[in-house]
Structure 1
């Protein structure tokens, strides 16, 4: 048998025997009918190590690389791509797509062909009541074919990212009535200003973003999520917040083109609040169709491919994650997405990722407490801005009564990524690994945000609220830079950390998320603090 390259980190090993696993999965043999099912896999190719090192260094210095240069100088070897594609076709795969930068080959085949060609044993795995066909062991390729490949993604569809939002009914019915002309008009309810669920103008004021001469004009905010919000809900939200109700500024991209689930809250929060903070920006929603990693990777590739035609798309919000210990090894999905985030950062796109809603010890669901303190990926990637959460309380006049670290705010030390050169300053503990989060914003669902979902007012929170608001703030800053005849922002983190302790950030010094306490300077609940947008604009323009 010819030598083969094994991709150990592309799966999490399952036990050889059938039955219940230690982490609650049920494993059974695959029946003959399951072998006729088709699966789409991602064969991810790495850029040469020396090129990746140069790109990492450029991003850490805040350098933006022109898109043509990115594709010319930071792509895999063309011969490696050709060998892989030819081999896949010879094995009976249908090539669905090769990304423009050649880092991703998406190929579709039957379970039976996948099992034979990749040397895997396909079984049935039940998780949370749903059953998937999945690989029991690590895949492999002929060594020559797999030379440029660093991961094969999609073989274990039961492993998925989770959303970072929690919703509830507003306490004492505050603001549950919608204004006349909205989706519905239930009986009158209290409308207590500066009490949850907070409206857009109240949050803007809390973070120094009210009364500014910028509205996000000329900017596009990208949202990565699995489905789309409803137009009627968007209009009702905008109307209640006295915002323009033109739905043409919301662009929808159904990445796979198939049917999508109805709105359930996350997509609605992301779009309503990013568009509320930057009301003249376009919001471009990339609906992945599911939270399977292969589908999220396809969406990220689509975002990257769209950049040449959308120069204003300089901010991306992602409210998803999974504890690093559940991600497999460092050369699997983490390496695949890191390569995409690195490319986005190098192109001048700032990616804001929620840090999590289960504090310092998230379990596999992301909403319960586990036994291990860990950061969540994607927020732990050193080329994104990890956004933590606070508990925000306002006075009756809209000033800050108190703001503390939210107990659910995700944070911790990465097991995958080294400490970036820019992650320094007061409060940053000694050590050599990446810390999460970088910044923070209101997130506590008990002091949550106003949204309209399926015609009803809901109160919602989680770091899924703080990430899209930060993306909206980024759009405001980029518009201000354009007005000042400056180029769009480069990767933000090298610019933000030196501003810790200045008027650009309010330090959050109280609160804990389990393993960590908030305190002076940096902490693993709120990062370097919450922004004063007016001061940030002045500092960054």
Structure 2
């Protein structure tokens, strides 16, 4: 029987066991591994004309009416055929996304090997061993006709968090003692980016956070107290997407929630805890966010501080195609997704913590339907004015191998070429000029583009509130509206600093994008 092979759903592993490039060790699976259960997602493509119409709408910055967007879904016949085959061949169908594009299943390793015709092996990465597919999966051609990818067979490939701590932790009283010096407070960041004294605080807006676990409420309330903020814990909603036990806070989730709520204290925060950083778990969390939009009309901004170098993601019809469908749908619904560009500069490795990988951008920030947020180093005067701001060495950036140059990515300094460039914008991220955070009851100084992304999402909430007050609809996809403002008063151009292969300079650059915002002037430009 003819079969359809999904080459882009995995990265190839050599046929022989042993050490693999990138520090992986491959060895044969033991008989006990065959009884393990794995989560695998089967992705169906949208009809080509529907995909094209979404791409065009998002590129213009249009918001697609909810009824029209709901009608864009995978072909029901193809999905039903796939589900019938799965249920008849040892798979348990756990969940199907509302648009029918994502079918989430569980199955034993032995059954996956048989039904998908994959060689399941043991892969050790950074001391942790995973059961994974050595070769690309396949389906009977009649079943796989509408399927574009099968995800979850190589769990050693997963997203990385984008935050960096300065250790050891510092006493809270000492942290706030010297004004306008690191670790920075909310009021100091608001002043540095033209957002001090505004009459908006995010009221009526909701900011979504996608991460693997949730922060301690006591850490968030302690952060608010240290920053003299009057917001309430009831504004934070914690959603456990999978329902399984969540891991302890590590810092990323606390940073995202503390600073998004600190910059926009009137906004509601919805933390979507995926349970893990596997792509299957993240995909399901994105589906949950999309499903929740009708009941949360103020949810117009989403912060994601995760990523993986594009060269480690397989081909364009694998995980990238799956998440791009979801980001397109979010952008078309009027949700701006802010994604940190990474903390390993222009050459991230598989861990996202080094500068020893190939020259590459990190996905998800390179997606053409999100706003990629890079990082800077920020120095303030004792009075709170900006004395210097340069591109941070860790700021991820470069050209995408998956996405072509969007029509909106044009401005002074944008180099010639046909690839989507990252980042789009930036903000302070250097942990050396980092943020105050309360983690497990202790004050610490923290940074990374995981700081700049949620702050940008909170700035978006301020802009959307201002638009509501002005009688205007919420923002559409922001990038087509931001690039025409390059070089004007809405951005402060960052002209010094490097992330390895790229230099910050006049106009757009692959370290800091268009630069850093003046939020007050952005509000004026986007509400008049």
| TM-score, L = length of structure 2 | 0.98
The equivalent of 1:362 in structure 2 is 348
The equivalent of 1:181 in structure 2 is none
Q: Distance in 1 between matches of 2:128 and 2:345?
A: 27
1:169 CA drift (Å): 3.3
Does residue 477 in structure 1 map to residue 481 in structure 2?
Answer: no
Q: Distance in 1 between matches of 2:22 and 2:310?
A: 15
Residues 231 and 265 in structure 2, CA contact (< 8 A), matched pair in contact too: no
The equivalent of 1:520 in structure 2 is 506
Q: Distance in 2 between matches of 1:404 and 1:112?
A: 53
Q: Distance in 2 between matches of 1:303 and 1:432?
A: 32
Q: Distance in 1 between matches of 2:40 and 2:474?
A: 35
Query: Where does 1:47-86 land on structure 2 (aligned, <5 Å)?
Result: 47-72=46-71, 74-86=72-84
The equivalent of 1:332 in structure 2 is 318
Residues 231 and 266 in structure 2, CA contact (< 8 A), matched pair in contact too: no
Which runs of 5 or more structure 1 residues have no equivalent in the other structure?
A: 179-187
The equivalent of 2:200 in structure 1 is 214
Residues 64 and 347 in structure 1, CA contact (< 8 A), matched pair in contact too: yes
Q: Distance in 1 between matches of 2:391 and 2:175?
A: 30
* Corresponding residue SS for 2:416: coil
The equivalent of 1:247 in structure 2 is 233
Post-superposition CA distance 1:510-532 (Å, at most 9, x none): 11111111111100000001000
* Corresponding residue SS for 1:364: coil
1:68 CA drift (Å): 2.1
1:71 CA drift (Å): 2.0
The equivalent of 2:288 in structure 1 is 302
* Corresponding residue SS for 1:470: helix
Residues 253 and 284 in structure 1, CA contact (< 8 A), matched pair in contact too: yes
* Corresponding residue SS for 2:369: coil
Q: Distance in 2 between matches of 1:437 and 1:112?
A: 43
Post-superposition CA distance 1:2-27 (Å, at most 9, x none): 11110000001111111211221111
Residues 415 and 433 in structure 1, CA contact (< 8 A), matched pair in contact too: yes
User: Measured at CA, do residues 189 and 237 of structure 1 come closer, stay the same or move farther in structure 2, by a change above 3 Å?
Assistant: closer
Residues 170 and 196 in structure 1, CA contact (< 8 A), matched pair in contact too: no
Match of 1:407 among 393, 414, 418: 393
The equivalent of 1:128 in structure 2 is 126
Which runs of 5 or more structure 2 residues have no equivalent in the other structure?
A: none
Residues 350 and 357 in structure 2, CA contact (< 8 A), matched pair in contact too: no
Q: Distance in 2 between matches of 1:79 and 1:58?
A: 27
1:70 CA drift (Å): 1.1
User: Measured at CA, do residues 403 and 170 of structure 1 come closer, stay the same or move farther in structure 2, by a change above 3 Å?
Assistant: farther
Post-superposition CA distance 1:96-147 (Å, at most 9, x none): 0011111100011111111111111111111111111111100001111111
The equivalent of 2:335 in structure 1 is 349
Q: Distance in 2 between matches of 1:58 and 1:261?
A: 39
1:67 CA drift (Å): 2.3
* Corresponding residue SS for 1:273: helix
1:190 CA drift (Å): 6.9
User: Measured at CA, do residues 258 and 189 of structure 1 come closer, stay the same or move farther in structure 2, by a change above 3 Å?
Assistant: closer
Q: CA RMSD in A?
A: 1.1
Q: Which runs of 4+ in 1 moved over 2 A?
A: none
